[in-house]
Structure 1
């Protein structure tokens, strides 16, 4: 019994398990084959007839041209079909799912005629790999709660209990609840194409041409999906709550999200393709909180016909992230292309509106018009970043003109190089052999950052013209660094006509508060082809160019006229080997700088590259450099220059400044035995050129040149040197510094003219117009109130050691001229040319003083070289302490010295000579002072005109007997031409009136003491010195050299 009982228990349990298993299998079978179930919520309910895997859907409730269906479940299994067997007069099939299950579409959805199909399921919709459409109209899939109509009626999926009064109108909108379900589309991905232009998928969700495919859910997840609406519209929107308005349009439906503020996620991954290519290039719009496109996924619209193209519009309340890190065969991104052969047909535009937009890791946003008009790209964002090889471009690849790029973002960043060594790029461009013009690139931002190999570019490689680049940054622009293998890519802003192009490059226009270009970055507007380069215009409160950075506007080919590089700023700093250059070859433009303060400082590249501001050309004429500023400082090896490198003439260098300082040296010049670079201002005709050097013109209140710095206008070629003109209130040249106009070749040196109130040269300084070649030196003209030349400094117009050209003429006009401590005025020569006046010094002054071995000389060196001439017209001349005036010749005839002076002070150690090779070849020395008639002799004066009556209390031995004479006029008449007449009236000696009352008192107050000190003898003065008060003190001993502390030097204390 017990065993039987146990067996019954086991049997009962077994029966229960079997019954449960049968129920499960029955349920699974029902789920597999009964996935489309109608509910009974309509006035006329839907009818479902299943024939195998086909669900034949009839019935439903008609209202006008609308047909309403209501399902408790709506899913389509693999290889299954949901067939809406509607009448052909039906225009809209409006469906809802009122149950609690997600709609899983793994098969075909089919309808008759051209009816549009609407499906809402608040629980969610999933399209599998085998899902597809066979409908003649549009498809709108949504996870909204209900349809709303403009007559106030509602077709709800969450409140189906009440029998609805259905509308005959097209739905007005989709009403979403607080937690709508997601829409997911799965597929095998688009792996059939390597370019986005042509797309004919064999699977996926496809509609007929000119229709709308809309997926509007909580989150939109496209994983290997394929969505195609040729020439029509594709709408993807992640809506979390609110009302989405529906508006019928020509190609289906348009949806209005403007009143919504609660969006979700939209993700495209695993080679997803969203495509509206066709005749008229359809409209694609994506809306969400965050939108991500990755894994070779693309959104594309290609124009193939003649209708007007629509647009690709991306709207995100937070972020759009286009990421190509896992791309395989095609770059993830947004593509608008045109393969129409009609040049008037437009390409689709691309518009992105988001808080944050990222295009990174090889991803791209691009428009390409080919033979037609290119599409525009418009970006509006708070933060826009292209990084790690991302590409953002409007391209011209054939005859059509390119589209424009307009970016309005608070922060714009173009950064880095990708894993495939592609630099990040924001560009408008024209490809090789194209004939269309490039579009323009416009950026409006608070801050722009381009670094680590990032590139912003507007250029052409074809026959068309390049576009303009305009950047308006409220606060700051920074371009910095390099990237790629071996740092092969320089970060920067480029407007370029590339090699083999024939079009003109565009202009680069920048407006910002602060601009920083550093660490090898570039800013360039150039032409490498046969066209002309554009302008480069910078307006910035502060412009800093540092650490081997480059600014360039010009041509490096045989292009046409290059336009100008223009900089307007409050503060300009160029340092660390950086370069600002207008022109390298051919006919180049001007460099214009208007700044409050300019500093050009130092060297870079381990001291091998000097910091510079240059204008140069190897072809035709060089442009000019024009600088207007309050203060400019060039120091530590930096320089400013205009250079003629070819057949053309060099440009002019014009500086207008209140304060100019050219100071020092720095770095190591590998082309000059690693000697330091000298700071300077240069205009030069180089040895490779045949043109003339430009002119250097300086207007300033104060100018300081010191510490071996150089200011020069020179020629090293057959072309002539340019003139150098300085107009300054105060000019100081010191510590080995030089101002030179010279020639080292066949060309004639330019003239040097200096006008200054105060001009000081000290400590080996030099101002000269010299020749060290076959060409003649220019003339040197100095007009100054005060000229001081001190401490081995020199003013020259000489022929230097290897110079065979004629020395120049030195013209000095100054109220006061001081030469001190081996200073010199030099017009020495080695030229044998006697047919041209040369090596001449002409001096006009009120006083000319030479001290402590200083010289004025026009000496000659070499065979048959005649000494130059010296002409001096001065009221007072003093040449003392072995200071000489000479016009000698070592091997030929001496020159001539002619002096006109009211008075000449000279000592036995100072000479005025015109010595030749021998006495017969000596020149002449002519000294003219005021005429004195020798017949008007001096009158004899008494030896002791006054009796030396001494008080008896004074001890006066004879060893120190002094004498005192009152000579009146010194025996001289009032005028040298007059005779001595007794014009004076004799006045007798007057005895003072005694006051008897006070005599005794005064005598008591005076204590008479005998002096034991020896009185000093009064001796004749033989010299004089000047003290710190500017007073002249006569001395009996030879004067001891003391520093000249004349108060006149104080005029230079501002340097």
Structure 2
């Protein structure tokens, strides 16, 4: 039984081997066999014994015109052999139009030669299919168009059919305008390791069913490469934009796949004096380890266009699309080479390690990049259209009706050194959703002192924006100011999440940032910032329903010494919540918040919302330096404000005093919170104005202050004023309200409400130095005033005591409470208590 089984297995293996032998023989014989036969139209084929050349003469020439027609039964060329088209008539020829009628694939492993027809184009159609092997070559002085079409349509409407028939008597001199397909499944065109090239300025087209290129190279210097795939009946039309397909025609697959070694990368190259075009049109496109190059090589010339168009999907894996930035050894080291444009259109695009470079060289201009899709998912996408020296960058546009996801990618529109006043390029993204993960989107310019140009704008219009460890940034670096950094505008119909990410502008004149969305969240040190190193930072404008800033989320404006920041304006129709601290890579704790810092005048902060909550160390802060310009204010127009658990609002404008103004329709609550203005300069501290329609509650170690900590200078280093007004109640528990000065006069504290109560708290306007100083003024105006273990202090050390004025119908003070206007060295102040209601 075992012996019989062994024999059966041996017979089975022998059958498999014998079955595979013909396939092995075919693959070998394809490269060895030449079969060229005539099938009419007066085509003559001759071959001398032992000679490598097959000479093709005769043909049909309507009216002795410039179109020459040939008909072959078979057309295959073996390795080291050649199919030579010869002009035995001597007549001028523009087009050689050839068909293959025998129903066999044309296997091209040798040479196709038409040099006997200077400048003539070659058309070869075989509905059975065409294959180019690794040893195939083209020696054609005109363009080459290879197709599996069933006919060629001429400009006068006549057809050159692949099947012989009565129409053959109606051929004309008209040029070809379309490739026609009558089969439901057109046959493929295959390129296997071939190095196919045409003359300078000429075209190379493959138009068929599926088009497959493996480890091959197609070269058309300064000309055009067209790869067009149809999956059904229809026409591919010849146009100046390449070969196009009617919108209703089903499209097939284009597969381009290179080897794993760099020398085996699949290449399409139309680089030349002026770069030529590369056009791909199909249904499904798959590009793996491929390079497309259309660069210009001569001064003042432009790289060619790359068009990739799919009706179903396009997939890229380790692919380069390059229309500019030639690294050439030119006699003129500053040659101006313009980058060409790149257009990518498909419903679905998936990309990994895709590089698109349309950069200009020296004075050359960069080319535009346009991506139009339904969905785009990419990792390691590197998209650049930089300008160099006196050139300018061009525009980058991504338009998607569905989601766009970019990971570990870079999108850059960059201007080179000395842009010469050229217009900067802009970046535009429109999509249903945009997700950026470890991705950089930037508009950047480096300019010398002879340029006024700046960085381009970035505009994003999406349903939802998610940023994870990513950045959106515009920046200019220049020796001349003012030079404008680009503006950033983001509009999201649903929400924006900035998580560990940054949206920023920076330059001599920093660009503005505008965000509009129902819900904006900044988390894990996510930030929005503008900055300046030469004149003024840009403004930040945010229009939302809800703003949530968590774990170090920040909105900031910064400027170096002598420069100004812009303003921050935020409108939230529902709420603003700012809470927590984040930890950076160095271990530093950074609070969530909104802030301005300037070496000169800082800008103002204006927040508008029904409900605002600051908690857990969050800050709203302005820090400025001496300036003779307008003060920098913090203004909050809210319904309700809560400042909790170490949160603070601070204006430290150490020049012209900036104020804190809070208008609350309902209430203001400080629970271990701080509101303060500070001055250590030779001007008064800023003022604090709190106004609530109902109540103000200050408790649990909270502080409201307008102190001046500067040295004594008579009539200069005064404290600021504090006004606390409420429609009903002001309650202060275990807290302090202070308008003190070390070297100037005390400020004024006004508390105005129907009911005022202090418990374990202090109101103080004291001064500590200077014989000319005066303790400040405290005014409490309410129907009912209650003091329990609290102090009202307007004292002085060297100067005079201040003034305390209480106007109330009912004033209650317990035995542990103190009202003091005394002076250690000067004159005591005055206390007035009167009934006014």
Q: Do the structures match in fold with TM over 0.5? A: yes
Is the Cα contact below 8 Å between 1:692 and 1:715 reproduced in 2? no
**CA distance in 2 between partners of 1:352 and 1:382 (Å):** 12
Q: CA deviation at 1:569?
A: 1.1
Q: CA deviation at 1:345?
A: 8.1
Query: Equivalent of 1:445, from 431, 444, 456?
Result: 431
| CA pair 278-362 structure 1, distance change in 2 beyond 3 A | closer
* More RCO (CA 8 Å, sep 6+): 2
Specify the alignment match of 2:795 in structure 1.
828
Q: TM-score, normalised by structure 1?
A: 0.69
**CA distance in 2 between partners of 1:239 and 1:206 (Å):** 24
**CA distance in 2 between partners of 1:506 and 1:380 (Å):** 24
Specify the alignment match of 1:73 in structure 2.
74
Specify the alignment match of 1:762 in structure 2.
732
**CA distance in 1 between partners of 2:771 and 2:521 (Å):** 45
**CA distance in 1 between partners of 2:803 and 2:320 (Å):** 79
**CA distance in 2 between partners of 1:33 and 1:78 (Å):** 5
| CA pair 694-564 structure 1, distance change in 2 beyond 3 A | same
Equivalent residues in 2 for 1:544-555, closer than 5 Å = 544-555=521-532
| CA pair 385-30 structure 1, distance change in 2 beyond 3 A | closer
| CA pair 316-29 structure 1, distance change in 2 beyond 3 A | closer
**CA distance in 1 between partners of 2:544 and 2:143 (Å):** 58
Is the Cα contact below 8 Å between 2:730 and 2:753 reproduced in 1? no
Query: Equivalent of 2:439, from 451, 454, 473?
Result: 454
Q: Give yes or no for the alignment of 1:539 onto 2:516.
A: yes
Query: Equivalent of 2:92, from 81, 89, 95?
Result: 89
Query: Equivalent of 1:729, from 693, 709, 713?
Result: 693
**CA distance in 2 between partners of 1:172 and 1:867 (Å):** 105
Equivalent residues in 2 for 1:32-51, closer than 5 Å = 35-42=34-41, 44-50=42-48
Q: TM-score, normalised by structure 2?
A: 0.86
**CA distance in 2 between partners of 1:230 and 1:607 (Å):** 57
**CA distance in 2 between partners of 1:814 and 1:151 (Å):** 98
Specify the alignment match of 1:209 in structure 2.
200
Specify the alignment match of 1:810 in structure 2.
777
Query: Equivalent of 1:779, from 740, 748, 752?
Result: 748
Q: CA deviation at 1:314?
A: 0.8
Q: CA deviation at 1:31?
A: 7.7
Q: CA deviation at 1:812?
A: 1.9
**CA distance in 2 between partners of 1:856 and 1:636 (Å):** 34
Specify the alignment match of 2:581 in structure 1.
603
Q: How many residues align?
A: 778
Equivalent residues in 2 for 1:118-517, closer than 5 Å = 118-149=123-154, 153-157=158-162, 159-160=163-164, 164-168=168-172, 169-176=174-181, 177-187=183-193, 204-247=195-238, 249=240, 254-270=243-259, 271-302=265-296, 304=298, 310-324=304-318, 332-337=320-325, 347-361=339-353, 363-368=355-360, 370-387=362-379, 389-411=380-402, 413=404, 415-417=406-408, 424-432=409-417, 435=420, 437-451=423-437, 453-463=438-448, 464-473=453-462, 475-481=463-469, 491-498=470-477, 503-517=483-497
| CA pair 526-134 structure 1, distance change in 2 beyond 3 A | same
Q: CA deviation at 1:787?
A: 4.0
**CA distance in 2 between partners of 1:31 and 1:567 (Å):** 68
**CA distance in 2 between partners of 1:27 and 1:455 (Å):** 52
Is the Cα contact below 8 Å between 1:744 and 1:803 reproduced in 2? no
**CA distance in 1 between partners of 2:290 and 2:176 (Å):** 36
**CA distance in 1 between partners of 2:33 and 2:66 (Å):** 29
Q: CA deviation at 1:266?
A: 3.0
Query: Equivalent of 2:808, from 837, 845, 848?
Result: 845
Q: Can you give the 5+ residue segments of structure 1 that lack an aligned partner in the other structure?
A: 1-23, 189-203, 325-330, 418-423, 482-490, 666-677, 877-1055
Equivalent residues in 2 for 1:625-664, closer than 5 Å = 625-645=605-625, 652-664=632-644
Q: CA deviation at 1:366?
A: 3.7
Query: Equivalent of 2:546, from 564, 571, 581?
Result: 571
Specify the alignment match of 1:622 in structure 2.
602
Structure ranking higher in strand proportion: 2
Other structure's SS at 1:560 match = strand
Is the Cα contact below 8 Å between 2:516 and 2:543 reproduced in 1? yes
Is the Cα contact below 8 Å between 2:771 and 2:799 reproduced in 1? no
| CA pair 67-132 structure 1, distance change in 2 beyond 3 A | same
**CA distance in 2 between partners of 1:692 and 1:239 (Å):** 73
**CA distance in 1 between partners of 2:30 and 2:468 (Å):** 63
Is the Cα contact below 8 Å between 2:775 and 2:795 reproduced in 1? no
| CA pair 186-875 structure 1, distance change in 2 beyond 3 A | closer
Q: CA deviation at 1:236?
A: 0.8
Q: Which has the larger radius of gyration?
A: 1
Specify the alignment match of 2:8 in structure 1.
none
**CA distance in 2 between partners of 1:780 and 1:153 (Å):** 97
Other structure's SS at 2:149 match = coil
**CA distance in 2 between partners of 1:553 and 1:359 (Å):** 33
**CA distance in 2 between partners of 1:702 and 1:217 (Å):** 74
| CA pair 398-411 structure 1, distance change in 2 beyond 3 A | farther
Q: CA deviation at 1:241?
A: 1.8
| CA pair 59-358 structure 1, distance change in 2 beyond 3 A | same
| CA pair 307-27 structure 1, distance change in 2 beyond 3 A | closer
